[in-house]
C-alpha cells in the first residue's frame, strides 16, 4: 500500500530565506507525486506535480520539487519565501493508472518577519 510521510509538522523560516519541505513516499509501483497548498480557511490548490520526464518540477509561486526515485523523496523548495507563503503544504501520491490520491499529514510553513 502506498503512503506519504511529511517529516516536519511545522517549519519556521525567516522571510526571504530559502525553505525545503520534506516528503517521502512508499509505493511498490510507479507513482505520480503532487504538492498542494492550503491557505487558511480555503481548499487545497495544486502547486506542482510530477508525472514523468524531468525529475525537477517547477510550479506556481516560485516553488519547485525534485523527484528522487532512489530515495523515494519529493522535497519541495523555494529559494526565497514571502509572508504570503504562510500556509499548510501537503504532499500526495497516486499510483500509476489509479486516480486515488493519498495525502500526507501536512507541513505548516511559518514565515517569520
Q: Which parts of this chain interact with another protein (CB under 8 A)?
A: 4, 9, 32, 36, 41-46, 49, 51, 90, 92, 94-101, 103-106
CB closer to another protein, 105 vs 110: 105
CB of 45 to another protein, least distance (A): 7
CB of 21 to another protein, least distance (A): 13
CB of 16 to another protein, least distance (A): 28
Q: Which three cell numbers stand for residue 78?
A: 523555494
CB closer to another protein, 32 vs 63: 32
Q: Is the dihedral of CA 11, 33, 24, 64 positive or negative?
A: negative
Give residue for cell 509561486.
61
Q: What gap in Å lies between CA 37 and CA 91, rounded to an integer?
A: 9
Q: What's 18's DSSP letter?
A: -
Amino acid at each position: 500500500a502506498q503512503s506519504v510521510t511529511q517529516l516536519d509538522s511545522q517549519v519556521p523560516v525567516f522571510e526571504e530565506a530559502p525553505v525545503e519541505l520534506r516528503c517521502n513516499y512508499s509505493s511498490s509501483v510507479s507513482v505520480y507525486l503532487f504538492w498542494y497548498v492550503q491557505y487558511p480557511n480555503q481548499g487545497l490548490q495544486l502547486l506542482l506535480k510530477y508525472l514523468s520526464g524531468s525529475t525537477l518540477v517547477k510550479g506556481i509561486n516560485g516553488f519547485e520539487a525534485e523527484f528522487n526515485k532512489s530515495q523515494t523523496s519529493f522535497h519541495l523548495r523555494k529559494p526565497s519565501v514571502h509572508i504570503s507563503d504562510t500556509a499548510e503544504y501537503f504532499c500526495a501520491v497516486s499510483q500509476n493508472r489509479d486516480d486515488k490520491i493519498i495525502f500526507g499529514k501536512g507541513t505548516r510553513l511559518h514565515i517569520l518577519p
